[in-house]
Amino acid sequence: MAIVSKPRCSASLLVFLGFLIRHRSSAEKVLLVPPPFGNSHWITLARIGRALVDRGYIVTVVVSEDIVEKRRAEWPDFQFETFQDGGTRATLEAVQDQAHSVARVLSLFELIEAFASVPEYLKQYCALLLEESNLLDQLRARQYSVVISDPFFPCGAVLSAHLDSRVPHIAVMRADPYFLDLKATGVPLPLSYVPFISTDFTDDMTFVKRLQNVVMSTLVPVVGRQSVSSIYDGLVRKYIGKKETIQSVTSRTDLWLYRTDNVLDHPRPSMPSMVQVGGLNVRAAVPLTEDMEAFVQSSGDDGVVVVSFGSMVKTMSTARIEIFAAAFARLRQKVVWRYVGEKPTGLGNNTKLLEWLPQNDLLAHPKTRAFITHAGSNGLYEALHHGVPMVCLPLFGDQPANAARVVARGLGVKLDFSTVTADQLYQAILHVVTNNSYQETAARLSRLHRDQPQSPMERAVWWIEHVIKHGRLPHLRARAVELPWYQYYLLDVAAFLFGVCLVVLGTVWCSCSFFCRKCCTKGGGKMKSQ
């Protein structure tokens, strides 16, 4: 019997393996098109991809040849397709590091100067990707069910349309830096209470702030759209169609996954194709390493303060480092600080420096009392989810707006990174840690954020599967996307009504004038007869 059972077991195993291989080959395929730089953007897409892999999907990522080995080592569950980018990705990363590796607040002029060359390199990267005919043939042969990209790199929408215009396209983002989504979604934005993303305004604005909000919300998007059009319209006409533009291609996007949440962000109008998934980067906490857990437990009842300025910021100027080190040294709490560089001379015994830290797991720890942050979106939602108050020192991008929302919600305080002193930083941390209102507010908002029928990641995956199952979703798109500007703003209706009013008023005026003349004529005739 034993001799007979071996072949049977082997045959059963082969049948089972054959079933798995056949099932995997017939599984739905998803294509991710990440930006060439900006690690936080890539991490967001990668985590969505991992969730889809766990659901049985085959996820392929398009990356340049020089980064593929690193990506493959980090995310072995993905398949990768590569192309030669001529060194543009490395150049873009170098520009980013030069601008943001050292924590500092950049003025508008400094930002423009630092990133003046970025659009041209992004265009080159996109052009080299679209010119890779062998790669495009392979991608078309795979017959992907959906393409997912980040509008931070608009080439994702172009590649999706170039591969097959019938394949749905999904955008995942915090906000569109080029403001193409405003027209693509057709959503109205009442500027009386919807603050511009690059300001630190809330939904409660004074007259002066509303004036500034109107000016910025009107002019900046126009400049942004003109800028991106000048970069990508040529590529769009070459690869998609002569009458197409980057705006028209982006407007074909079937689903917009916004990394926002009404608990932290201000409520605003939305469309059915716009889905909030703020906090999708949050995952279940895993136990800390033995030495980290021992350090955290050594804090006793005082607890721990977590310090991190995101994945791009690696270090600070010497003056800023010593200010932070001196402030942390005065705390009774233990401090875990993500920091790369030489050890500050004023570093206290209570502070632990790490080149990388398990931020989500530390914020989930019951001994964590506060989070010192640059107010990046991912970190904010981790702190919100785990109910940790914050001290925000925003640097660039959407961080000032994020910090303003933290303050408005009562989740923490905001400081100026450029001018903060050691005493101000110490007092701010002490205020947040010892004031029960911040802890209570953080706990309450955490409960609100968690009390959802689906987690943000589950909601994102459900909508992606919905798109894969049903294909493109034109019934979710507002007609506003297709209307010319004069129809959208009802200028033709206004002109017609204005014309009607003129005709009515003109008729009334002429009638009154006519009767007045008649009356005057009759009165004059009677006078003569007498």
Beta carbons within 10 angstroms of residue 355's beta carbon: 9
Q: Same domain for 350 and 267? A: no
Concatenating the DSSP letter of every residue in 472-490 gives: --GGGS-GGGGS-HHHHTT
In contact, 152 and 260? CB cutoff 8 Å: no
* Spatial separation of the C-alpha atoms in residues 306 and 310, rounded to whole Å: 12
The answer to whether residues 426 and 477 belong to one domain is no
CATH code for the domain in which residue 88 is found: 3.40.50.2000
Reading the chain (530 residues) residue by residue, the pLDDT tens digits are 444 444 454 545 544 444 444 444 458 999 999 999 888 899 999 999 999 999 999 999 999 999 999 999 999 999 999 999 999 999 998 888 887 778 878 766 767 666 677 888 999 999 999 999 999 999 999 999 999 999 999 999 999 999 998 999 999 999 998 999 999 999 988 999 999 988 889 999 999 999 999 999 999 999 989 999 999 999 999 999 999 999 999 999 999 999 999 999 989 999 999 999 999 989 889 999 999 999 999 999 999 999 999 877 878 888 899 999 999 999 999 999 998 888 899 999 999 999 889 999 999 999 999 999 999 999 999 999 999 999 999 998 889 999 999 999 999 999 999 999 999 999 999 999 999 999 999 999 999 999 999 999 999 999 999 999 998 888 998 888 888 888 888 899 999 999 999 999 999 998 888 888 878 776 555 544 54
Question: Is there a domain that residue 410 lies in?
Answer: yes
Chain centre to alpha carbon of residue 58: 24
Same domain for 212 and 149: yes
Residue 325, token pair as written in the block:
């080190």
- Verify that 203 and 332 share a domain, yes or no: no
The three-state (H, E, C) secondary structure of 275-329, written as one string: EECCCCCCCCCCCCCHHHHHHHHCCHHHCEEEEECCCCCCECCHHHHHHHHHHHH
Q: For 394-411, give one letter per residue: b (16+ CB within 10 A) or e.
A: bbbbbbbbbbbbbeebeb
CA neighbor of 434 nearest in space, from 308, 327, 325, 303: 303
In DSSP notation, 135-181 reads HHHHHHHH--SEEEE-TTSTHHHHHHHHH-TTS-EEEEES--TT-HH
Same domain assignment for residues 477 and 410: no
Distance of CA 179 to the CA centre of its chain: 12
Report, in this order, helix, strand and coil percent for the chain, each rounded to 5. 55, 10, 35
Question: Number of structural domains, the chain?
Answer: 2
Cβ neighbour number for residue 506 with a 10 Å cutoff: 10
Domain around 356: 290-450
Other C-beta atoms within 10 Å of 213: how many?
19
CA atoms within 13 Å, Cβ hemisphere of 213: 22
- Any domain includes 513: no
8 Å CB contact between 346 and 322: yes
Domain-located, residue 466: no
Would you say residue 412 lies in a domain?
Answer: yes
